[in-house]
Structure 1
Amino acid sequence: MLKGVSIIDATVFMGMHHQDEVIRARSLAFFTQRYNSQVRMSFSQIGVCDAIIWKKARELQDVYYPFMDVLHSDMNILRAGYTDAVLQRAAYSPELSNLPPEKRLQAAQVIEGDAPFYTHDDDYQRCAALHPYLASFDAQPSDELFPVGLQKLYDASLALKISEEDFQHA
């Protein structure tokens, strides 16, 4: 049984704004259901989110960032860097060698953290070493909403949509 606080990657956070309705609904449900609990996200995955947003038009950034700022401030998102053990595993673990370096780091952090990992990323889904850690999103979308003020910011932020291609260039 995995014992750590759930870990997410950028695909889950940015998934709340994905053009694919299934990914968007699953990501939104993940966050609304866990709003009053904890999740973990690496500093580098937060950076991936920023890289995606900074490539969007300024007008879209201006409607997106108020939502992101309040969510990151109000929700207990534990942000973490990499430990020496994570760096060692990422560098020398043969079962992670098929992943690009930044994904090896995320995968090693998941394994070292012994925690459920939520992702929409196909590379992680195919990585056999991560299979014991991959968590499933709820099959049915949630009816839960964010608190009223945050929900209004989220609704406005939906002017921004992302696609799989956005992740390729981050």
Structure 2
Amino acid sequence: MATKFPPQRLLSHQSIPTMVHHYYLFLNQRLKDAHLVHLCNEAQKASQTTAIFTRSVSETQRVSRLLNTLKIGVVSLQSDLSPSARAASLDKLRRKECYAIVTTDVTAAGLDPIPQVDRIINFSLTWKMNPEIYTQRISNISHVGNLGLAITFVTQ
């Protein structure tokens, strides 16, 4: 496999936090939702907060509906939400009324770090994904010195 895909070094101006364990799950596209549901269920049972990053607003909405339908407490941040609605969503996380937030990079940019995040799930990678975006996503864990997980779903 290494000869087929030689290892690459990613360079970033920002350092990748050391308090985060990084995992990559190589999945069939059809199994992404099932793995996401499993990880979110486990996190919710352990009262851990999960931030799920998607590539688009429509995917954010779809993933939020899926998790809410399955009784996994989740809020979403989307570009069409007002600032007060965004603040209300983050307050639900702070008060532990839900344990997951689904968002895109664009929507999350410029916000205060998402409170008390224990794990990040990179549900989908974008064509513009680079080390800075990855570091920005996972910095939500390390800003408070927590030991956390960063899980990236990789599909064909």
Shared fold per TM-score greater than 0.5: no
Greater helix share, 1 or 2?
Answer: 1
Using the size of structure 2 for normalisation, the TM-score is 0.34
Greater strand share, 1 or 2?
Answer: 2
Using the size of structure 1 for normalisation, the TM-score is 0.32
